[in-house]
Amino acid sequence: MSDSRIQLSDLIAGDLRAVADKVEQELRTGDSAGSASIAWSMVKSEAAARLHDALKIDVLELVATAWSKAKELKKYGDAARYPPDQSIVVHLGEHAVSCQVQPVVEVLFNEVSLPSVRFNVELVARFKSAALNIRGGVIREVLPGACSAQAVLRYGNVKLKEATTPEVRFPGRLGLGNGIRIS
C-alpha cells in the first residue's frame, strides 16, 4: 500500500472527539451503561486516536476486494480460459461498488479491559468508468477514471459521521502490489 493513496481515515477526516462523545452517550443509554461509560469518558480522546488508526485502510484495496467478489468478474479467475501469463483489461462502465469494514477499538482502563467498541464503516465508490488489469485470476492494477466516494461511520444504529468526496479524475494506473485474487 502506498502512503499517497486515500485511506478511510482521510475520508472520515477531522476531529473524532465528537464521534467519541456520541459513543459515550450511547454507552450511557445502552446495555453497557455503568463502569464502561464512566471509563470511556476518561479515555475517549485516546479512543478517538485509536479509531483514527483503525481507519487507516486503503480505499482502493477495499474497492478492488469488492470487485474481486463480483459475479461478472468470476470468469477471469478461470486459468483454463485466461492463462496466468496473459493480461486482460476489463472495462467497467458507470457503476457503484460498496463494501463494509468493522474497525474495533479496545479500551484498557486501570489495567482492566473494557468491552470492545465495534464500529461499522460503509463505503460506496461511484465510478463514471474504470478498467481493471487482471492476470492469473488476480486484479493487478486499476485505471479508475473519474470517481467519487461516500463513507458512513456508525456505532450500532447511530450514524456518527458521514463524508462524501467530490468527483475526482485519477490519471494513469494504480497498482495493487501482489494484487487481489478474484474469488
Calpha distance 165→125 (Å, rounded): 10
Provide the residue ranges of all domains of the chain, joining segments of one domain with +: 8-181
Is-above-0.85 flag for pTM? no
Q: Which pLDDT belongs to residue 145?
A: 87
pLDDT in tens, the chain (183 residues): 444 688 999 888 776 777 877 777 776 665 555 565 566 666 777 778 888 899 999 999 999 999 999 999 999 999 889 999 999 999 999 999 999 999 998 877 778 777 778 899 999 999 999 999 999 999 999 998 899 999 999 988 889 899 999 998 887 889 999 999 998
Q: Which pLDDT belongs to residue 6?
A: 86
Concatenate the DSSP letters of all residues of 40-65 into one string. HHHHHHHHHHHHHHHT--BHHHHHHH
Angle between helices 17-29 and 35-54 (to 10 degrees): 140
